Structure 1
């Protein structure tokens, strides 16, 4: 069985590290503290120039929920156009309605706009009101995969739902577990039949700058002297585990 590992890369350096580690693909984003937002055009451009790994771009205009205003939806569409111009290999996005159902009308527009690039419906799925109906709606929209933690904080916590979704998908769409995946739990997730996995493999580095006395963010829960980068060793350890178990 062939497995693929996608790395949630939050910088050009993280993309470089993911490629060096042997990952098959990255989901390029920004602002991990907010669950990921759209990276800058410069980040996408330089990631493409400096690596050959497949780059899927997360298109999400802000943190928070996945219910978007007309203006935010226009931003999403324009970002997809820019991503295509920059030569990326895939788009990651998705839209919900206020009641937690998949916004099929808008998601279909995004899928069509992304073509011929493959479209991944992101972890908006994990806050959808009814996962099995969401599964059918996303399939109907034409997405090629769903990134999900099984509607829990981690894929291991959500493994039972992931197994059910994988079975109900029945090959019609790729179910890609993501959230807290590492070398110690990847085998359990392989056992439910999934073949693609998503992880950040991030490692904290202390900033070289001397900590200031002013916090640039209103939330004191976000340490401003820590920088996260996808780590080559962490990613390789998971790839080696997959290779051993496959």
Structure 2
């Protein structure tokens, strides 16, 4: 079954995503910074409100550097204690390479939990080198990527080319319904939506009806 993941900011969003047929939510805070770590209290509220998996962002500062690694590791422990069981992370050096010490230490802190390498991959200097560098880290089960910094419109050829790699491609970043046919024909079966689940914009909550539309579209495109 194809996977549909929806960005949630709080329990209300997560409930609407589940009602609409989402398989998983990505829980973040502060979309003005493209998604930072939520509070432990929010994690606990969301975990209590829904039955679907909740993948929690590990990111304390805007951009793709880890920032204060000690603070990030402390927040990771707090989020795990609040019930987080799945995560989203990814850190780059100033020259656009993966930051092995930061990624490795955070992965050690989540202790084998499943995680997604997020859209930092779209901002790296060498996608193939990044994927190879993190491929053997425990728990990694996919890359959230648009294929390009500017979104799926410009990255679709890259996504199609990477569809057969060892980790699952979670296509997201300006994803539209009309992107689904070529992506699914290439073998991509995981999709991530944010603004598409909020027809009234980011100041409004997730719409269960919008998610339902995506659920139906993803299911209709299955081979």
User: Does structure 1 residue 155 correspond to structure 2 residue 152?
Assistant: yes
Paired residue for 1:85? 81
Measured in 1, the distance between the counterparts of 2:13 and 2:180 equals 21
Q: TM-score with structure 2 length normalisation?
A: 0.92
Once the two structures are TM-superposed, the CA of residue 154 in structure 1 deviates from its matched residue by 1.7
Runs ≥4 residues deviating over 4 A: none
Q: Is the 8 A contact 1:104 1:141 kept in 2?
A: no
| Structure 1 runs not aligned, ≥5 long | 206-225
Q: What secondary structure is seen at the aligned counterpart in 2 of 1:157?
A: helix
What do the CA deviations read for 1:8-55 (whole angstroms, capped 9, x no partner)?
Answer: 112221111101111110000011122111111221111111111210
What do the CA deviations read for 1:151-206 (whole angstroms, capped 9, x no partner)?
Answer: 23222320111122223x2xx2111111122333222221221111111112326x
Match of 1:164 among 161, 164, 180: 161
Paired residue for 1:241? 217
Q: Is the 8 A contact 1:182 1:238 kept in 2?
A: no
Q: Is the 8 A contact 1:4 1:195 kept in 2?
A: yes
| Structure 2 runs not aligned, ≥5 long | none
Measured in 2, the distance between the counterparts of 1:146 and 1:88 equals 19
User: Does structure 1 residue 140 correspond to structure 2 residue 127?
Assistant: no
Paired residue for 1:216? none
Once the two structures are TM-superposed, the CA of residue 138 in structure 1 deviates from its matched residue by 2.1
Measured in 1, the distance between the counterparts of 2:131 and 2:204 equals 32
Paired residue for 1:188? 182
Q: Is the 8 A contact 1:203 1:229 kept in 2?
A: no
Q: TM-score with structure 1 length normalisation?
A: 0.83
Give the root-mean-square deviation of aligned CA atoms.
Answer: 1.6
The number of residue pairs the alignment matches comes to: 219
